Amino acid sequence: MSKVKICGLRRPEDISYVNKYLPEYVGFVFAKSKRQVSIKEAAELALKLDKRIKRAGVFVNETIENIVNTVKVCKLYVVQIHGDEDPSYVSDLKKELLKEGFNSTEENKVQIWKGIRVKDETSFEEMEKFEADAYLLDAFIEGSYGGAGKTFDWNLAIKAKAYGNIILAGGLTPDNLIGARNKVNPAVLDVSSGVETEGFKDDEKICRFINMARCY
């Protein structure tokens, strides 16, 4: 069964919603976005987050130093990188995390998810070069690093599974998640705008998304 990640939390209400329905992961966006939060804001929100929910941080072309600091302050379990980071960046990030005491045991492991913007099959060529724990697939939108809420050809996502663990994102909603899950069977279904109303997280949509992901 695919796990669920609710991304783009930014209000105390968002925390209360996820605490009710317990997705496996939630995401705080530190990159420029309408859902962007500061490290301080994310840390304060995370204090109220149910301990069973794992925290992910979303970054775009951020310095390794800032990412490691954010991991420490916000106690992140996942680092999502969605920019122009190359394979050596991932290797260096892993080294720095290890130097800071992370990844020495399963309890303090910090996963690295590399975002891949899917345009066609050539989009997956770079995946072989990375040492990421998983790959988050999102739609390719010119001038965007992700989070545009657009779907892409899920047949391509099936092919991407040959390269590693897949996190499926891009335009997921309570109405299409069953089709996405049954077709792709990703490790994680990642949703943000698909559980929002007028730009803000919606209690009923989050409930429906998580229940459908788990019950069918």
The per-residue pLDDT for range 20-47, each reduced to its tens digit, is: 999 999 999 999 999 999 999 999 999 9
Which residue range(s) make up the domain with 127? 3-215
Q: For residue 181, which amino acid is it?
A: R
> What is the pTM assigned to this prediction?
0.93
| Per-residue pLDDT reduced to its tens digit, 70-88 | 999 999 999 999 999 999 9
The predicted structure's pLDDT at residue 143: 53
Residues 6+ apart with CB under 8 A from 119: 140
The CB density around residue 148, as the number of other CB atoms within 10 Å, is: 15
Spatial separation of the C-alpha atoms in residues 169 and 110, rounded to whole Å: 20
Spatial separation of the C-alpha atoms in residues 12 and 116, rounded to whole Å: 30
End-to-end, the C-alpha distance of the chain in Å comes to: 9
Q: Are strands 196-197 and 200-201 parallel, antiparallel or unpaired?
A: antiparallel
Helices (H), ranges, 75-202? 87-99, 154-160, 177-184
Spatial separation of the C-alpha atoms in residues 79 and 93, rounded to whole Å: 10
| Per-residue pLDDT reduced to its tens digit, 160-172 | 898 899 999 989 9
Residues 6+ apart with CB under 8 A from 48: 12, 15, 16, 19
CATH label of the domain that carries residue 10: 3.20.20.70
Which residues make beta-bridge pairs with 5? 25, 190
Instruction: Quickly list DSSP for 102-131.
Output: -SSSSTT--EEEEEEEESSGGGGGGGGG--
- Tell me how many domains the chain contains: 1
